Amino acid sequence: MALTCGEQKLKKGSAKLGINLIAPRVAMLTAVKPQHAKYGRAQCHYCGSCGNGCTVGAMFNSLSSTLPAAKATGRMTLRPNSVVRHIVTDNNTGKAKGVAVVDRVTFQEMEFTGKVVIVAGSTLESTRLLLNSKSRQHPDGLGNSSGVLGHYLVDHFGGTGASGVFPTFAGRDVINEDGKSSGIFVPRFRNLDAATKHQKFLRGYGFEGGSSIGAFPGMAKSTPGFGSEFKKQVRRWYVTPVSLTTRAAMLSRFENYVEIDPGGVVDAWGIPVLRVHIQHSDNEREMGRDATDMAESILREAGAEQIKVSRNLTLPGRIIHELGTARMGNDPKKSVLNKYNQLHDVSNVFVTDGAAFVGSANQNPTLTILALTIRACEYLTDEMKRGNI
């Protein structure tokens, strides 16, 4: 989706520092092809309501895209009220037999059997389910012979960045710029090679942000004044905003982990909950400092004024990009899943969400989750055809 006028200015400012700024790649339809029309998906009409869901299916998500495709096979049963209690395993073989569930509304307990169990409950819920699936063969949780299950939890951090105004836009006519949900993206530019190496931290970060006239003048809260002069000032400046915020990698560390709550806390259905242990390290703090400085520099180069910076890292969990805790790897002693998202310990259980990640990098994770899931599904169908599962 094209950059706004202010975003073009940002692009020029960032280019002066040798930094690339692009339109973000978003999973929204700007054109409808037969594979989309088949499931009733329409082209984006720039209404700006993506955060509330998309009623026309222009935005990719499971409701508009993957579930309708699964339904069209005629082989899907959707059970939205089944809360999975644990994975049921065969006491002799140790393999999964199915899942034990409790109905969210009626509290009825049920079991479903299957040749394969695919866990995709989102990072922490998937790992919680595995940890809650203890049995004689799997005393520390399903797939946890390595002791790694639950460890190496990461989340992206944001919060660091800068915002300001473009004075050249002050008092301009209002146009519809907030219908596009995607602003700008600055791909990572630190620690790519020797020339971009930073002395104080590993990995890197990117920027999200933008410059567009919003429906609501958020800056009014900090605009001084009262009455008609105040309104005049708000109208004059609310058409000028520009901001950059960080999406940054967090280092994977064994000591950031989740466990089944040792105090015996359970949820509404009596299922043990997780306790989360996670902290930022100096690497994240140094990276955040650099990100704030660079965001401010880009805004200045772009011609922004009244610049305010933010140096507070978001707390882990705030970006809701939890990843890791059932990491993949070649060595069963150091990882939970193999490269096909299959448990090393139990060949008929797959985990196809962010739990499989070994690190966060700085990119938003969903497209990687989808790619890994497709690879896992292709492997699974091949293995089933060969009779290996």
Residue numbers of the site for ligand SF4 (CB under 6 A)? 28, 44-50, 54, 56, 58-59, 179, 181
String of DSSP letters for 156-210? -B---EEEEE-GGGTTPPP---TT----EEE---SSSSGGG--SS-SS-EEEEEE
Q: Which is nearer to ligand SF4, 56 or 358 (by Cβ)?
A: 56
According to DSSP, the residues that pair with 207 across neighbouring strands are 186, 246
Minimum distance between the CB of residue 368 and ligand SF4, rounded to whole angstroms? 21
Helical spans, DSSP H, in the chain: 5-16, 34-37, 67-72, 123-131, 227-237, 282-302, 366-386
The answer to whether 158 and 247 are in contact (CB under 8 A) is: yes
Q: Which is nearer to ligand SF4, 51 or 263 (by Cβ)?
A: 51
Minimum distance between the CB of residue 218 and ligand SF4, rounded to whole angstroms? 19
Q: Which is nearer to ligand SF4, 57 or 354 (by Cβ)?
A: 57
Minimum distance between the CB of residue 64 and ligand SF4, rounded to whole angstroms? 9
Q: Which is nearer to ligand SF4, 32 or 358 (by Cβ)?
A: 32
Q: At what angle do helices 5-16 and 282-302 cross, to 10 degrees?
A: 110
Which two three-digit tokens encode residue 209?
A: 């942000």
Minimum distance between the CB of residue 214 and ligand SF4, rounded to whole angstroms? 14
Radius of gyration for the alpha carbons in the chain, expressed in angstroms and rounded: 24
Q: Which is nearer to ligand SF4, 53 or 171 (by Cβ)?
A: 53
Tell me the C-alpha to C-alpha distance, in Å, between residue 219 and each of 230, 299, 321, 388.
12, 17, 28, 61
Minimum distance between the CB of residue 24 and ligand SF4, rounded to whole angstroms? 13
Q: Taking Cα atoms as reference points, which of 14, 2, 5 lies closest to residue 244?
A: 14
Minimum distance between the CB of residue 219 and ligand SF4, rounded to whole angstroms? 23
Q: Which is nearer to ligand SF4, 66 or 297 (by Cβ)?
A: 66
Strands 109-113 and 184-186: unpaired
Minimum distance between the CB of residue 30 and ligand SF4, rounded to whole angstroms? 9
CB proximity list for 382: less than 8 A, separation 6 or greater: none
Minimum distance between the CB of residue 363 and ligand SF4, rounded to whole angstroms? 20
Measure the CA–CA gap between 323 and 333, rounded to whole angstroms.
20
Measure the CA–CA gap between 150 and 137, rounded to whole angstroms.
19
Q: Which is nearer to ligand SF4, 44 or 248 (by Cβ)?
A: 44
Q: Which is nearer to ligand SF4, 48 or 359 (by Cβ)?
A: 48
